[in-house]
Homo-oligomer: A and B are copies of this chain.
Amino acid sequence: MKNNRGFASDNNASVHPEIMQAIIDCNTGHAVGYGDDEFTRRARTKIRDEFGQDIEAFFVFNGTGANVVGLRNMTQSFHSIICAESAHIQEDECGAPEFFTGCKLIPVEAENGKITVDAIAPHIRGIDFEHHSQPRIVSITQATEFGTLYTVDEIREISDFVHHKGLLLHMDGARIANAAVALGVPMRAITRDAGVDVLTFGGTKNGAMYGECILFFKPGLTESFKYYRKQSMQLASKMRYISVQFEALLTNDLWKRNAGHSNAMAQLLAKRAGQIPGIRISRPVQANGVFAIIPEKIIKQLQEKFFFYIWDETISEVRWMTSWDTTEEDIIQFTDLIANLLK
């Protein structure tokens, strides 16, 4: 029988019971549509308690929507957006950022998904030259697509540079909770306090059902927000069902517990798998993703029991994602299977 558990993605996991309960609890009576309701106000209060009282927070349906609508409020169509060549907005959104903002995306080299000032700097050029897309945004991902992390200092270095050049810093935080927990800091330490201007604050990959949040730290960017969200088809009518999920995530540190658990599972997986001869952990394991180079011959059999994706076929590198619901048992079974297959 096919195992329905695996390491394919943290979005293959189910919804955390506390979040499900919050959804059930709010399911009574009427609520004004489109966000003008008590649940949404309560969620926003929780978010402000976490990130600061003067920020703006808006809910949308999904991660691509959060990134794109966030970027759209920061750009005009003749701008360019600099990001890692491996960024979700560059690789995994089917061109939605270009289509919806009209902007040019400029991918830069990024070892293990992290970009540096040195990689960004050469692309800050052609300023005021109408033939050239005008650099406007640098977008970084925390945790990165490789499960690696920017330190607070690294983010600060980038934000200082970006602001010095008159640009804005966007962060794709689909896994911001994993990052904060791994670094042992509050989420605001690696976002607002480190100079991030706009953040995609992800819920879905941390135990939610659907819904992401866009946080604007820099004032003055949201004047047209409500129109762009609606025009981009990201305004939920029964908003309360998104809002309560974020309220739940920010209640009793659920965001932290979920992220902490999935991070720990990644460490365990990396440790156990790394000890198996023939397996090489290929990237630093800092959040909830484990990358490994494994013998090609075992991939198919392994995937049949625990599904996961091949990252780079040319070097037989695979990606294993852990999630809030990954168990030690999962890890043990999985690594035992690897060991067995390699005997």
Contacts and interface: CB of A to CB of B under 8 A. Distances in A.
A14 B33 contact: no
A102 B94 contact: no
A229 interface: yes
A94 B132 contact: yes
Nearest to A326: B30
**Identical chains in the assembly:** 4
Contacts of A103: 95, 98
Contacts of A263: none
Contacts of A142: none
A204 B90 CA distance: 32
B29 A4 contact: yes
Contact of A11 (B6, B95, B238): B238
A307 to B, nearest CB: 7
Contact of A210 (B9, B94, B104, B210): B210
A68 interface: yes
Contact of A94 (B14, B90, B133): B133
Contact of A241 (B210, B238, B307): B210
A332 interface: no
A339 B105 CA distance: 43
Interface string A21-40: 00110011111111000000
Contacts of A229: 130
Contacts of A32: 8, 12, 307
Q: Which of A28, A92, A95 has the most CB of B within 10 A?
A: A95
Given A14-B29, A232-B233, A92 B4 contact: no
Contacts of A165: none
A235 interface: yes
Interface stretch (A57-65, A181-189, A248-256): A57-65
A271 interface: no
Contact of A30 (B8, B23, B204, B231): B8
Interface of A: 4-6, 8-9, 11-15, 20, 23-24, 27-34, 61-65, 68, 76-80, 90-96, 98-100, 102-107, 126, 130-134, 204, 209-210, 224, 226-238, 241, 307, 325
